[in-house]
Amino acid sequence: MTQKSKKIDEEALAEAYNRALALEKAGDFDAAAAAYREVLDLDPEDHGGASVRLASMGRGDTPVKAPDAYVATLFDQHADVFDNVLVDQLDYCVPLLVRQRIQALELAPFKRVLDLGCGTGLTGGALRDMAEDITGVDLSENMVEIAHEKDLYETLYVAEAVDFLDDNDDEPFDLIVATDVLPYMGALEAFFFGAVDNLVPGGLLIFSSETLPETDFAGRSYMVGPHQRFAHSEAYLRDRLAATGFEIAEVGDITVRMEEGAPIAGHLVIARFKP
Protein backbone atom coordinates (compact mmCIF):
# COMPACT_ATOMS: atom_id res chain seq x y z
CA MET A 1 0.00 0.00 0.00
CA THR A 2 1.39 3.42 -0.90
CA GLN A 3 1.75 6.32 1.50
CA LYS A 4 -0.88 8.17 -0.51
CA SER A 5 -3.50 5.44 -0.17
CA LYS A 6 -2.84 5.12 3.58
CA LYS A 7 -3.94 8.71 4.12
CA ILE A 8 -7.31 8.39 2.39
CA ASP A 9 -10.26 9.55 4.50
CA GLU A 10 -12.29 6.38 3.93
CA GLU A 11 -15.47 7.77 5.46
CA ALA A 12 -15.45 10.94 3.36
CA LEU A 13 -14.53 8.91 0.27
CA ALA A 14 -17.42 6.47 0.77
CA GLU A 15 -19.86 9.34 1.31
CA ALA A 16 -18.73 11.19 -1.83
CA TYR A 17 -18.71 8.03 -3.96
CA ASN A 18 -22.17 6.88 -2.85
CA ARG A 19 -23.51 10.40 -3.41
CA ALA A 20 -21.99 10.46 -6.89
CA LEU A 21 -23.51 7.07 -7.77
CA ALA A 22 -26.94 8.14 -6.56
CA LEU A 23 -26.80 11.39 -8.55
CA GLU A 24 -25.63 9.53 -11.66
CA LYS A 25 -28.45 7.00 -11.29
CA ALA A 26 -30.93 9.87 -10.91
CA GLY A 27 -29.65 11.41 -14.17
CA ASP A 28 -28.19 14.55 -12.54
CA PHE A 29 -24.89 14.21 -14.37
CA ASP A 30 -23.50 17.66 -13.58
CA ALA A 31 -23.93 17.15 -9.82
CA ALA A 32 -22.65 13.58 -10.14
CA ALA A 33 -19.56 14.83 -11.96
CA ALA A 34 -18.84 17.32 -9.17
CA ALA A 35 -19.12 14.50 -6.63
CA TYR A 36 -16.84 12.22 -8.66
CA ARG A 37 -14.26 15.02 -8.77
CA GLU A 38 -14.46 15.12 -4.97
CA VAL A 39 -13.80 11.38 -5.02
CA LEU A 40 -10.68 11.91 -7.16
CA ASP A 41 -9.41 14.63 -4.83
CA LEU A 42 -9.76 12.22 -1.89
CA ASP A 43 -8.34 9.22 -3.80
CA PRO A 44 -5.96 10.26 -6.61
CA GLU A 45 -5.14 6.61 -7.39
CA ASP A 46 -8.85 6.21 -8.21
CA HIS A 47 -9.72 2.82 -6.70
CA GLY A 48 -13.39 3.45 -7.53
CA GLY A 49 -12.92 4.33 -11.21
CA ALA A 50 -14.32 7.86 -10.91
CA SER A 51 -12.32 9.01 -13.95
CA VAL A 52 -13.90 6.27 -16.08
CA ARG A 53 -17.39 7.16 -14.84
CA LEU A 54 -16.80 10.85 -15.66
CA ALA A 55 -15.82 9.89 -19.21
CA SER A 56 -18.80 7.54 -19.50
CA MET A 57 -21.14 10.44 -18.63
CA GLY A 58 -19.39 12.78 -21.07
CA ARG A 59 -18.21 14.97 -18.19
CA GLY A 60 -14.49 14.26 -18.35
CA ASP A 61 -11.65 13.49 -20.75
CA THR A 62 -11.36 9.89 -21.92
CA PRO A 63 -8.43 8.35 -20.02
CA VAL A 64 -5.87 6.32 -21.97
CA LYS A 65 -6.69 3.35 -19.71
CA ALA A 66 -8.69 2.41 -16.65
CA PRO A 67 -6.68 3.14 -13.46
CA ASP A 68 -4.72 0.10 -12.24
CA ALA A 69 -6.03 0.58 -8.70
CA TYR A 70 -9.62 0.48 -10.00
CA VAL A 71 -9.14 -2.66 -12.12
CA ALA A 72 -7.34 -4.50 -9.30
CA THR A 73 -10.01 -3.52 -6.75
CA LEU A 74 -12.88 -4.39 -9.09
CA PHE A 75 -11.62 -7.89 -9.82
CA ASP A 76 -10.29 -8.59 -6.34
CA GLN A 77 -13.81 -7.93 -5.00
CA HIS A 78 -15.48 -10.27 -7.50
CA ALA A 79 -12.89 -13.06 -7.68
CA ASP A 80 -14.86 -15.59 -5.61
CA VAL A 81 -18.00 -15.32 -7.75
CA PHE A 82 -16.32 -14.36 -11.03
CA ASP A 83 -16.81 -17.60 -12.97
CA ASN A 84 -20.44 -17.92 -11.93
CA VAL A 85 -21.38 -14.32 -12.72
CA LEU A 86 -19.47 -14.02 -15.98
CA VAL A 87 -20.34 -17.38 -17.51
CA ASP A 88 -23.74 -18.25 -16.03
CA GLN A 89 -25.29 -14.79 -15.64
CA LEU A 90 -23.60 -12.74 -18.38
CA ASP A 91 -23.27 -15.54 -20.97
CA TYR A 92 -19.56 -14.82 -21.39
CA CYS A 93 -18.10 -17.38 -23.79
CA VAL A 94 -15.15 -15.60 -25.44
CA PRO A 95 -12.57 -18.23 -24.33
CA LEU A 96 -14.61 -20.93 -26.10
CA LEU A 97 -14.92 -18.70 -29.19
CA VAL A 98 -11.12 -18.36 -29.20
CA ARG A 99 -10.78 -22.14 -29.00
CA GLN A 100 -13.27 -22.64 -31.85
CA ARG A 101 -11.47 -20.20 -34.17
CA ILE A 102 -8.06 -21.75 -33.39
CA GLN A 103 -9.49 -25.16 -34.28
CA ALA A 104 -11.28 -23.92 -37.42
CA LEU A 105 -8.13 -22.21 -38.73
CA GLU A 106 -5.91 -25.14 -37.61
CA LEU A 107 -3.52 -22.86 -35.72
CA ALA A 108 -2.67 -25.20 -32.82
CA PRO A 109 -0.67 -26.70 -31.17
CA PHE A 110 1.40 -24.04 -29.39
CA LYS A 111 4.66 -24.36 -27.53
CA ARG A 112 4.42 -21.25 -25.34
CA VAL A 113 1.19 -19.32 -24.66
CA LEU A 114 0.80 -16.06 -22.74
CA ASP A 115 -2.68 -15.46 -21.28
CA LEU A 116 -2.90 -11.76 -20.46
CA GLY A 117 -5.67 -10.82 -18.04
CA CYS A 118 -5.98 -14.51 -17.23
CA GLY A 119 -8.46 -13.91 -14.40
CA THR A 120 -9.52 -17.18 -12.81
CA GLY A 121 -8.30 -19.23 -15.77
CA LEU A 122 -11.27 -19.42 -18.16
CA THR A 123 -9.09 -18.97 -21.25
CA GLY A 124 -6.29 -21.08 -19.83
CA GLY A 125 -8.78 -23.88 -19.33
CA ALA A 126 -10.12 -23.53 -22.89
CA LEU A 127 -6.63 -23.75 -24.40
CA ARG A 128 -4.90 -26.11 -21.96
CA ASP A 129 -4.78 -29.13 -24.27
CA MET A 130 -3.43 -27.01 -27.15
CA ALA A 131 -0.30 -25.75 -25.39
CA GLU A 132 2.85 -27.19 -23.85
CA ASP A 133 3.35 -24.22 -21.55
CA ILE A 134 0.95 -21.45 -20.48
CA THR A 135 1.89 -18.31 -18.56
CA GLY A 136 -0.93 -16.35 -16.92
CA VAL A 137 -0.83 -12.67 -15.95
CA ASP A 138 -3.47 -10.67 -14.10
CA LEU A 139 -3.59 -7.45 -12.10
CA SER A 140 -5.85 -9.00 -9.45
CA GLU A 141 -4.03 -11.02 -6.82
CA ASN A 142 -7.27 -12.75 -5.76
CA MET A 143 -7.94 -13.84 -9.36
CA VAL A 144 -4.42 -15.24 -9.71
CA GLU A 145 -4.83 -17.22 -6.48
CA ILE A 146 -7.96 -18.90 -7.87
CA ALA A 147 -6.24 -19.59 -11.20
CA HIS A 148 -3.34 -21.14 -9.29
CA GLU A 149 -5.71 -23.51 -7.47
CA LYS A 150 -7.00 -24.79 -10.84
CA ASP A 151 -3.48 -25.93 -11.81
CA LEU A 152 -3.83 -24.75 -15.43
CA TYR A 153 -0.68 -22.64 -15.75
CA GLU A 154 3.03 -23.41 -15.58
CA THR A 155 3.70 -19.83 -14.41
CA LEU A 156 1.49 -17.06 -12.96
CA TYR A 157 2.26 -13.39 -12.35
CA VAL A 158 0.39 -10.56 -10.65
CA ALA A 159 1.02 -7.63 -13.01
CA GLU A 160 -0.61 -5.14 -15.34
CA ALA A 161 -0.58 -6.43 -18.93
CA VAL A 162 1.53 -3.73 -20.62
CA ASP A 163 3.93 -3.54 -17.65
CA PHE A 164 4.48 -7.29 -17.94
CA LEU A 165 5.11 -7.06 -21.68
CA ASP A 166 7.61 -4.26 -21.07
CA ASP A 167 9.47 -6.07 -18.28
CA ASN A 168 9.39 -9.69 -19.45
CA ASP A 169 12.74 -11.10 -20.55
CA ASP A 170 11.81 -14.78 -20.79
CA GLU A 171 11.81 -16.47 -24.19
CA PRO A 172 9.10 -15.24 -26.58
CA PHE A 173 5.67 -16.80 -27.04
CA ASP A 174 4.04 -18.23 -30.15
CA LEU A 175 0.58 -17.14 -28.95
CA ILE A 176 -0.49 -14.18 -26.84
CA VAL A 177 -4.18 -14.18 -25.97
CA ALA A 178 -6.05 -11.35 -24.24
CA THR A 179 -9.75 -11.93 -23.58
CA ASP A 180 -11.66 -9.16 -21.78
CA VAL A 181 -8.51 -7.03 -21.41
CA LEU A 182 -9.06 -4.27 -23.99
CA PRO A 183 -12.28 -3.06 -22.29
CA TYR A 184 -9.96 -1.68 -19.57
CA MET A 185 -7.56 -0.02 -22.03
CA GLY A 186 -8.14 2.97 -24.27
CA ALA A 187 -5.01 3.66 -26.31
CA LEU A 188 -3.56 0.38 -27.63
CA GLU A 189 -0.19 1.37 -29.09
CA ALA A 190 1.83 0.30 -26.03
CA PHE A 191 -0.09 -2.97 -25.82
CA PHE A 192 0.51 -3.90 -29.46
CA PHE A 193 4.20 -2.91 -29.37
CA GLY A 194 4.61 -4.91 -26.16
CA ALA A 195 3.01 -7.92 -27.82
CA VAL A 196 5.41 -7.68 -30.78
CA ASP A 197 8.37 -7.64 -28.38
CA ASN A 198 7.18 -10.89 -26.80
CA LEU A 199 6.22 -12.91 -29.90
CA VAL A 200 8.29 -15.18 -32.10
CA PRO A 201 8.27 -14.20 -35.80
CA GLY A 202 4.95 -15.44 -37.17
CA GLY A 203 3.51 -15.60 -33.64
CA LEU A 204 -0.17 -14.92 -33.04
CA LEU A 205 -2.01 -12.26 -31.05
CA ILE A 206 -5.67 -13.11 -30.36
CA PHE A 207 -7.85 -10.69 -28.43
CA SER A 208 -11.43 -9.62 -27.85
CA SER A 209 -12.69 -6.05 -27.69
CA GLU A 210 -15.99 -4.27 -27.20
CA THR A 211 -17.39 -1.85 -29.74
CA LEU A 212 -20.27 0.57 -30.33
CA PRO A 213 -22.10 1.89 -33.41
CA GLU A 214 -19.92 4.12 -35.60
CA THR A 215 -22.15 7.11 -34.83
CA ASP A 216 -21.34 6.80 -31.12
CA PHE A 217 -17.61 7.11 -31.76
CA ALA A 218 -18.15 10.39 -33.65
CA GLY A 219 -14.72 10.11 -35.21
CA ARG A 220 -12.99 8.89 -32.06
CA SER A 221 -10.79 5.78 -32.05
CA TYR A 222 -11.98 4.65 -28.62
CA MET A 223 -14.30 5.82 -25.88
CA VAL A 224 -15.73 4.81 -22.51
CA GLY A 225 -19.10 3.20 -23.12
CA PRO A 226 -22.26 3.29 -21.00
CA HIS A 227 -21.04 0.43 -18.78
CA GLN A 228 -17.74 2.11 -17.84
CA ARG A 229 -15.67 -0.08 -20.18
CA PHE A 230 -13.68 1.00 -23.22
CA ALA A 231 -15.04 0.42 -26.71
CA HIS A 232 -12.77 0.48 -29.77
CA SER A 233 -13.62 1.11 -33.41
CA GLU A 234 -12.69 -1.63 -35.86
CA ALA A 235 -10.83 0.90 -38.00
CA TYR A 236 -8.61 1.82 -35.02
CA LEU A 237 -7.79 -1.83 -34.29
CA ARG A 238 -6.87 -2.48 -37.92
CA ASP A 239 -4.81 0.69 -38.24
CA ARG A 240 -2.80 0.18 -35.05
CA LEU A 241 -2.15 -3.50 -35.73
CA ALA A 242 -0.86 -2.75 -39.23
CA ALA A 243 1.33 0.07 -37.91
CA THR A 244 2.86 -2.26 -35.32
CA GLY A 245 3.80 -5.05 -37.73
CA PHE A 246 0.81 -7.36 -37.56
CA GLU A 247 -0.99 -8.99 -40.45
CA ILE A 248 -4.68 -9.48 -39.68
CA ALA A 249 -5.89 -13.03 -40.21
CA GLU A 250 -9.45 -12.46 -39.06
CA VAL A 251 -11.74 -9.88 -37.45
CA GLY A 252 -15.01 -11.45 -36.36
CA ASP A 253 -18.13 -9.78 -34.97
CA ILE A 254 -19.07 -11.36 -31.64
CA THR A 255 -21.35 -10.88 -28.67
CA VAL A 256 -18.93 -10.41 -25.79
CA ARG A 257 -21.48 -10.77 -23.00
CA MET A 258 -24.99 -9.77 -21.95
CA GLU A 259 -25.48 -6.64 -19.87
CA GLU A 260 -28.84 -5.73 -18.36
CA GLY A 261 -30.45 -8.17 -20.79
CA ALA A 262 -28.85 -6.65 -23.91
CA PRO A 263 -25.98 -8.10 -25.97
CA ILE A 264 -22.65 -6.25 -25.87
CA ALA A 265 -21.14 -6.16 -29.36
CA GLY A 266 -17.46 -6.74 -29.91
CA HIS A 267 -14.72 -8.14 -32.08
CA LEU A 268 -12.55 -11.22 -31.92
CA VAL A 269 -9.28 -10.47 -33.68
CA ILE A 270 -6.58 -12.88 -34.82
CA ALA A 271 -3.36 -11.22 -36.01
CA ARG A 272 0.05 -12.62 -36.96
CA PHE A 273 3.35 -10.84 -36.25
CA LYS A 274 5.19 -10.33 -39.55
CA PRO A 275 8.62 -8.79 -38.84
Q: pLDDT tens digits for 197-229?
A: 999 999 999 999 999 999 999 999 999 999 999
Nearest CA-CA partner of 83 in 138, 125, 141, 131 = 125
Q: How confident is the model at residue 5 (pLDDT cuts 50, 70, 90)?
A: very low
Give backbone dihedrals phi and psi of 250, rounded to 5 degrees, phi first: -165, 135
- What is the average pLDDT score of the chain? 94
How many Å apart are CA 186 and CA 225, to the nearest integer? 11
Distance between CA atoms of 214 and 236, rounded to whole angstroms? 12
Contact call for residues 157 and 135 (beta carbons, < 8 A): yes
With a cut of 90, say whether residue 239 has pLDDT above it: yes
Over residues 170-187, mean pLDDT: 97
Quick: pLDDT tens for 126-138.
Answer: 999 999 999 999 9
Q: Do the Cβ atoms of 78 and 98 come closer than 8 Å?
A: no
As a whole-number percent, the residues of the chain with pLDDT over 90 amount to 88
Quick: pLDDT tens for 9-57. 889 999 999 999 999 999 999 999 999 999 999 999 999 999 999 999 9
Residue 1: which pLDDT band, with cuts at 50, 70 and 90?
Answer: very low
Among candidate residues 150, 178, 159, 145, the one with its CA nearest the CA of residue 256? 178
Between CA 5 and CA 13, with CA 9 as vertex, the angle to 5 degrees is: 95
Query: Per-residue pLDDT tens for 74-87?
Result: 999 988 888 888 88
